[in-house]
Amino acid sequence: MKKGDLVEDFDLPDQHGARRSLSEFLATGPVVLFFYPGAMTSGCTKESCHFRDLGAEFSGLGAQRIGISHDHVAKQRTFSDLHGFDYPLLSDPTGEIADRFGVRRRLPIGPLRTRRMTFVIGTDRRILGVIHSETDMNAHAERALEILRE
């Protein structure tokens, strides 16, 4: 998916097992949906903690942060509890949503089946911007804030 594309609604379980839909989140403002390769890995922890630490800035812009990976609900819950995340982590174990967004790796690197990508989605379900960096863990949250401010 790229800037300007319309995102279809979807629902997945969050770290508590509750089904959550994209439309539910978009009802209150834009969404920053970040795909990460695997909970509890060093890079994903750094990226997710950076999203947590910038929570006030995202809230000030009316935006919600949502993490998503192939990890199962229990692992997402452990990851969230361990780091005190104040946003939902969605579980996409089949990779269906990763496929829709085009972030699934053709050849997984060990357990890492998803590429690290972030999508800023407006309330009209249009993609406002896409961030892709496998190595700069802070770029995702910082660039998402820039896109929201534009």
Coil, strand or helix at 91: strand
Q: How far apart are CA 86 and CA 66, in angstroms?
A: 10
CA distance 131 to 6: 17
CA nearest to 138, candidates 51, 33, 37, 57 = 51
Catalytic residue IDs:
44
Residues 92/72, Cβ–Cβ less than 8 Å: no
Alpha carbon 92 to its chain centroid, in Å, reads: 11
